[in-house]
Amino acid sequence: MQVAQKIGFFIDIIDMFKRLLPIAEARASLVPLGADPFNVVFDGFTSPTEASVNGKTVLLAGTNNYLGLTFDPDAIEAACEAMRLSGTGTTGSRMANGTFSCHRALETDLAEFFQCTSSIVFSTGFLANLGVIAALIGPDDPVLIDGDCHASIYDGCRMSGGRTIRFRHNDPHDLEKRLKRLGGAAEDALVIVEGIYSMFGDRAPLRELVEVTKGFGACLMVDEAHSLGVLGAHGRGLAEEAGCEDEVDILVGTFSKSLGTIGGFCVSRHAELDLIRYASRAYIFTASPSPATMASVRVALKKLAEGSALRERLWENALTLYQGLLDMGFSLGPEPSPVIAVLMPSREKTLFAWKALLDRGVYVNLVLPPATPGGVSLLRCSVSAAHTPDQIGFMLYAFASIGGLARK
């Protein structure tokens, strides 16, 4: 109660806010450390890789801007033209007055890009997972998810009322064991995994997971949020890289990583996917994405489809940073990828290290329990194709200065 009063919570007025006391205490504990990662304000951006924080130029190493397309001039011009022609927003859901020709055009583009029959655009990637899962899974239906799946997948499972069963991260044998326990009900199950996992940057063993899932007659959904534009010969994600696109029933993704804006989608080779439009509350009751967003995504998707130069540059940067941090003795995620997790020995050292990096002009993501798998604390870097070799070198220089904090 003392902490709550100190930071101004009106606990005595509204008892309901008492449940937020642990959050208040956690935030108050950051004050003596001089770190407040929840209150970093970017005053302006000069490029996909640089911004201003409190008047100081900061190198961005935690933005998920994998292909660096947020400042692409063609995407910006397309967004501006769409806004001039169709206004700033739709003011309605897709089922009401919010379906514009640009939404249908992007859905056609996505279906062609993924070589699929059906495509649906959502307002965010989070809503895409909520909307698809809650529409497909009914009360007590089994849904099996990798233990490291994103919060949106967990929330979609909760909303569905289905029977959520977690299997060990990237463990096809554990998935097989849990499907076997379901008996005949396994044929009605939905299995959900991700292409690249957002915390540690590791891939799913998709080929093995496909074999297990299809062996029981279950359906498979893959969230390619962090792998779209990153993996595969054409950038379609892990399913393309693993050579099993035809065996994945549903792909879900977001526009907020490689495509540089906001929104979400799902695609499928099953024409029945279109029925989700009539069953998904996240689709029916949410205002649709703006015309400007749709226009910029179409341009970014076209650039992704036209060549691999950006993807190759992204991987050069990712491998350089990963190997450089490894050579310094940092404990990292299990494999190189554009998501590079630096595992830290304690919460306090993680906070000090995050603040030290920011003071040296490098912004990374601070991730603490309970947001992390296994309760670890980590500094999360995300690499961009737009980073120059000098900027990657500067990141390594900054991390070298906090090496002592990474040791137990």
Query: DSSP letter at 95?
Result: T
Q: What are the residues facing 192 on neighbouring strands?
A: 145, 221
| Position 397, amino acid | Y
Pairing of strands 362-363, 56-60: parallel
Is 180 annotated in the active site? Answer: no
d(CA 84, CA 79): 9
Q: What are the residues facing 45 on neighbouring strands?
A: 51
Q: Which of 29-43, 83-97, 328-342 has the lowest mean pLDDT?
A: 29-43
CATH topology of domain 29-60+309-406: Aspartate Aminotransferase, domain 1 (3.90.1150)
Intervals of CATH 3.40.640.10 along the chain: 71-306
Burial 368-406 (b: 16+ CB within 10 A, else e): beeebbeebbbbbbbbbbbbeeebbebbbebbeebeebb
Q: Is 94 exposed, middle or buried (0-12, 13-18, 19+ CB in 10 A)?
A: buried
Q: How confident is the model at residue 38 (pLDDT cuts 50, 70, 90)?
A: confident
Query: Tens digit of pLDDT for each residue in 98-126?
Result: 999 999 999 999 999 999 999 999 999 99
d(CA 69, CA 293): 13
Q: Is 352 exposed, middle or buried (0-12, 13-18, 19+ CB in 10 A)?
A: middle
For residue 28, the model assigns a pLDDT of 75
Asked if 127 and 309 touch (Cβ cutoff 8 Å), the reply is no
Q: Which of 91-95, 301-305, 366-370 has the lowest mean pLDDT?
A: 366-370
Give the list of residues 6+ apart from residue 267 with CB closer than 8 angstroms, or none.
110, 111, 114, 116, 118, 119, 120, 250, 251, 273
Q: What is the mean pLDDT of residues 53-59?
A: 93
Give the list of residues 6+ apart from residue 273 with CB closer than 8 angstroms, or none.
117, 118, 119, 120, 250, 266, 267
Is 377 annotated in the active site? Answer: no
Intervals of CATH 3.90.1150.10 along the chain: 29-60+309-406
pLDDT of 219 above 90: yes
d(CA 22, CA 19): 7
Query: Tens digit of pLDDT for each residue in 262-303?
Result: 999 999 999 999 999 999 999 999 999 999 999 999 999 999
For residue 9, the model assigns a pLDDT of 47
Give the max Cα distance, the chain.
62
Residue with more model confidence, 307 or 87: 87
Query: Tens digit of pLDDT for each residue in 303-357?
Result: 999 989 999 999 999 999 999 999 999 999 999 999 999 999 998 899 999 999 9
- Name the helix (H) or strand (E) containing 53: strand 50-53
For residue 20, the model assigns a pLDDT of 81
Q: Which of 234, 257, 355, 387 is catalytic?
A: 257
Can you give the pTM of this predicted structure? 0.93
For residue 57, the model assigns a pLDDT of 96
Question: Which two three-digit tokens encode residue 225?
Answer: 């949020």
For residue 405, the model assigns a pLDDT of 83
Question: Which two three-digit tokens encode residue 218?
Answer: 């279950």
Q: Which of 103, 150, 226, 355 is catalytic?
A: 226
Give the list of residues 6+ apart from residue 210 with CB closer than 8 angstroms, or none.
220, 242, 244, 247, 248
Q: What are the residues facing 252 on neighbouring strands?
A: 223, 266
Residue with more model confidence, 19 or 331: 331
Q: How confident is the model at residue 3 (pLDDT cuts 50, 70, 90)?
A: very low
Q: How confident is the model at residue 23 (pLDDT cuts 50, 70, 90)?
A: confident
pLDDT of 76 above 50: yes
d(CA 159, CA 139): 9
For residue 33, the model assigns a pLDDT of 67
Query: Tens digit of pLDDT for each residue in 168-214?
Result: 999 999 999 999 999 999 999 999 999 999 999 999 999 999 999 99
Instruction: Extract the runs of DSSP E, i.e. beta strands, from 208-323.
Output: 219-223, 250-254, 264-268
Pairing of strands 142-146, 190-194: parallel
Give the list of residues 6+ apart from residue 374 with CB closer than 8 angstroms, or none.
none
Q: How confident is the model at residue 372 (pLDDT cuts 50, 70, 90)?
A: confident
The dotted CATH code for 71-306 is: 3.40.640.10
Q: Which of 152, 198, 290, 296 is catalytic?
A: 198
